[in-house]
Chain A
Amino acid sequence: MKEVQWSRVSSSVVLLCAFVGLYGLNVPHAHAIPVSTSIYISICGDGVVQPDEVCDDGTANNVGGYGSTTAQRHCNAGCQSFGPYCGDGVLQVRFGEQCDDGNAVSGDLCSATCQTETPVNQTTTGAPPVGSIPQVPGATQGTLSADTPTKVVLRGKAYPNALVNILLDGKVLGSVRSDSNADFFYTTTDITPGTATFSFSAQDAHGTNSLMSTVVFDVIESAVTTVANIFLPPTIELSSDHVIPGDLLTISGQSVPLSNVYTQVIPDATTSIISTVDGAGNWALQLDTSSFANGKHTAKGFFVLSDTVKSGFGQSVGFTVGPGSTIGGVSPDLNGDGKVNLVDFSIFLISWNTTNPRTDFNQDGITSLADFSIMLFNWTG
């Protein structure tokens, strides 16, 4: 009897431990593939020379004034170069230089402070040394005063020759076209210091819009904040959103040239299907749906160019296999102007907490935060 009771107790304890242990585990979903991005921020003005900077003298110190020696040279605003200095190889007469041989060494006929040196054993004749020119009256030395504007620099990759739209705090800030390698570069001084939300999206050559990528960071006053490695995920489209099992489904889009696109099909594949992006930025794969169960499926992807150049997942697209209606829904573009922006949000607010089907995007019977979330996901600005 005691033996039986102990067996039951031990079984219960084991079960309890298993239950607690399972809840304590962070078991990833079988289909989840961890994806990380490599966005980073460097601030010109923080006194730290970041990988993409040449110099950084700290906040309000990057004023690029004249340095009387190489050691005393000053960083320019933007942290990409130094201001004029003795030793830069440029004769700057207005700063009192008599010579500049591009080094910080004395005894080579041009001193470390850019003054001409008399050669050894040479008698001066009274003639002025070569390069000696009286200092220009009014020339200033030392630090040039400058008001450093608050500036943000944005760098990343989209698709070849695509127009990248940039939002600041949800509103359109501007746009820039990426080059043939999909690189884009944008700067703005139209910004107030504080927490800023920048969002990026682009339309590929086939008219497909990317998922919006957002970065949130603190903009420092009078500093140049550079955000690099903004990598837009691949665009994705389907040849059909309703197929019969056995049909071939083409999934395609655009991404960074010569990268690999990893496509996940949910809930069917536990690994990603890899496609190579061609020089024009196009990628495609053909999916054999013969083993697919009837019902709704989705596909999404990310690109990898190298260990440090890769995106997160992009837009998820849905398709139906077998009988059943195509995947549809209510569009958050409530005024039908092709954009999802503040006007649609304002229309949405009027129907807040009502049963208006027009604003019930997830069709759960109420206009609520879930619908607000869907609108924000589809935001275009």
Chain B
Amino acid sequence: MNRTRLATTLLALLVFSPLTASAASIYLDPNTGTYGPGDTFEVDVRLNTDSSQCINAGHIEIDYPTAALRAVDFGRGDSIFTLWIADPHIDADKGTVDFSGGTPGGYCGRIPGDPSLSNILGKIIFTVMSSSTKSATVHLSSSSNLYANDGLGTVITPSMSDATITIAPHALSTSNPWLTEVSKDTIPPDPFDIQVESTRGVFGGRYYAVFSTVDKQSGLDHFEILEDGVWKNVVSPHELADQSLTGGVQIKAIDKAGNERLGTYVEGSAPRRIYSIEDFLLPVGALIILLILIGIYLSVHRKRNAGSVVDLRHE
């Protein structure tokens, strides 16, 4: 009887146990280090996987103790992500860093012969704030997720490993390796095209600009557009202020070192503008109001004229 129950239980476990193990893992590199107050160091967020589990998107969240560390910058120059949902976000008060991005076609692991690992998702630059604690853990949150390149949006839960930083009582370095790396970057972001589009249901059919590029050195910092004679920060897609397009479209990409690359816009390449009902609402509405006003005026004018005739007859 006991043997029967045992066999049944084991069989049940075999059938119902979740036996999946992910080939993908995220880790921090370096995973150890010793730094003192004021020192700046870099931690790469890296992805390991193989061709059995290609990954094409991910959301990564990292937290760290704010008493000991402060995330001061994020570098995406070496990232295998080529498209970003938004700029990487650092919350210095909460001690978190999060970013979401992806790569078309997916990443399937390191190619034999590659001189590098080529598996960086992003680079976080930390500064040690104080030596009040002897160690600090940079932690990959369980909220981090990867997505399989399977066309189904399958979530992959990777294995993750953190980094442990030993805090020395005093600063150990007089140099800032991140600043050194950024200052060496003299190459502007990669060339890119500026596409002007008009799509039904997007910005009411009005013209908008689409643009994207990468910077393989210090990493892309931001884009700017020239509108109303002023360069101002912009993200893609951007509804153009000048819908006539007569002044062209000027957008530049700027990397962390301040190198700039002006995008290429081909005059006349924009499609025909798609007009929506909103485009006609104002002029049609204004016309209707004008007609109503004219109608009211004429009506009042006629009544006045009619009243004057009656008075004359009575005299």
Chain A interface residues (CB < 8 Å from chain B): 7, 11, 14-15, 18-19, 22-23, 25-27, 32, 34-37, 39-43, 46, 50, 167, 169-171, 192-197, 199, 212-218, 220, 227, 312, 315-316, 334-335, 342-343, 345-347, 349-350, 352, 358, 361-362, 369-374, 376-379, 381
Total of A-B residue pairs, C-beta within 8 Å:
192
A352 to B54, CA, bound (A): 24
* Contacting pair B111 A216 (CB below 8 A): yes
Residues of A within 8 A of B154 (CB): 370, 373
Residues of B within 8 A of A362 (CB): 152-153
Set A27, A192, A217, A335: member contacting B118, Cβ < 8 A: A217
The interface-forming segment of B89-97, B127-135, B195-203, B285-293 is: B195-203
Set B6, B108, B201: member contacting A11, Cβ < 8 A: B6
**Shortest Cβ distance from A29 into chain B, in angstroms?**
8
Set A34, A37, A214: member contacting B104, Cβ < 8 A: A214
* Contacting pair A35 B51 (CB below 8 A): yes
* Contacting pair A369 B147 (CB below 8 A): yes
* Contacting pair A217 B103 (CB below 8 A): no
* Contacting pair A376 B105 (CB below 8 A): yes
* Given A36-B51, A46-B115, A373-B148, A347 contacting B202 (CB threshold 8 A): yes
* Given A213-B105, A216-B107, A373-B57, A194 contacting B217 (CB threshold 8 A): yes
Query: Residue B245 at the A interface, CB < 8 A?
Result: no
Set A22, A39, A43, A315: member contacting B19, Cβ < 8 A: A22
* Contacting pair B102 A376 (CB below 8 A): yes
17 CB contacts below 8 A, A to B, read A19-B17, A22-B19, A36-B51, A43-B113, A46-B115, A194-B217, A195-B80, A195-B116, A199-B105, A217-B111, A334-B199, A343-B195, A345-B212, A349-B236, A349-B237, A371-B153, A373-B147
Residue among B105, B116, B152, B208 with max Cβ neighbours from chain A (10 Å): B105
* Given A35-B51, A169-B190, A376 contacting B112 (CB threshold 8 A): no
**Shortest Cβ distance from A180 into chain B, in angstroms?**
26
Set A23, A216, A343: member contacting B80, Cβ < 8 A: A216
A352 to B111, CA, bound (A): 33
Set B14, B52, B210: member contacting A343, Cβ < 8 A: B210
Set A35, A346, A370: member contacting B210, Cβ < 8 A: A346
B2: nearest residue on chain A (CB-CB)? A7
**Shortest Cβ distance from A367 into chain B, in angstroms?**
11
Residues of A within 8 A of B221 (CB): none
**Shortest Cβ distance from B3 into chain A, in angstroms?**
9
Residues of B within 8 A of A346 (CB): 197, 208, 210, 236-237
Query: Residue B230 at the A interface, CB < 8 A?
Result: no
* Given A35-B51, A169-B214, A345-B83, A372 contacting B102 (CB threshold 8 A): yes
* Contacting pair B237 A347 (CB below 8 A): yes
The bracket for how many chain B residues form the interface is: 35 or more
**Shortest Cβ distance from B192 into chain A, in angstroms?**
8
Query: Residue B142 at the A interface, CB < 8 A?
Result: no
**Shortest Cβ distance from A345 into chain B, in angstroms?**
6
Query: Residue B155 at the A interface, CB < 8 A?
Result: yes
A364: nearest residue on chain B (CB-CB)? B153
Residues of A within 8 A of B54 (CB): 214
Query: Residue B25 at the A interface, CB < 8 A?
Result: no
What 11 new A-B contacts, CB under 8 Å, besides A169-B190, A342-B212, A376-B57?
A15-B10, A41-B111, A197-B82, A197-B104, A220-B115, A343-B210, A369-B100, A370-B153, A372-B85, A376-B83, A379-B104
A332 to B267, CA, bound (A): 28
Residues of B within 8 A of A334 (CB): 199
Residues of A within 8 A of B40 (CB): none
Residues of B within 8 A of A371 (CB): 153
Set A167, A195, A361: member contacting B216, Cβ < 8 A: A195
Residues of B within 8 A of A347 (CB): 199, 202, 237
CB within 8 Å of A: which of B1-51? 2, 5-6, 9-10, 13-14, 17, 19, 21, 51
Set A22, A39, A170, A220: member contacting B17, Cβ < 8 A: A22
* Contacting pair B114 A217 (CB below 8 A): yes
B198: nearest residue on chain A (CB-CB)? A335
Set A43, A195, A345, A369: member contacting B59, Cβ < 8 A: A369
Set B6, B52, B151: member contacting A15, Cβ < 8 A: B6
* Given A25-B19, A195-B120, A362-B153, A15 contacting B9 (CB threshold 8 A): yes
* Given A15-B6, A369-B59, A34 contacting B52 (CB threshold 8 A): yes
A227 to B113, CA, bound (A): 9
* Given A170-B103, A369-B100, A40 contacting B2 (CB threshold 8 A): no
A371: nearest residue on chain B (CB-CB)? B153
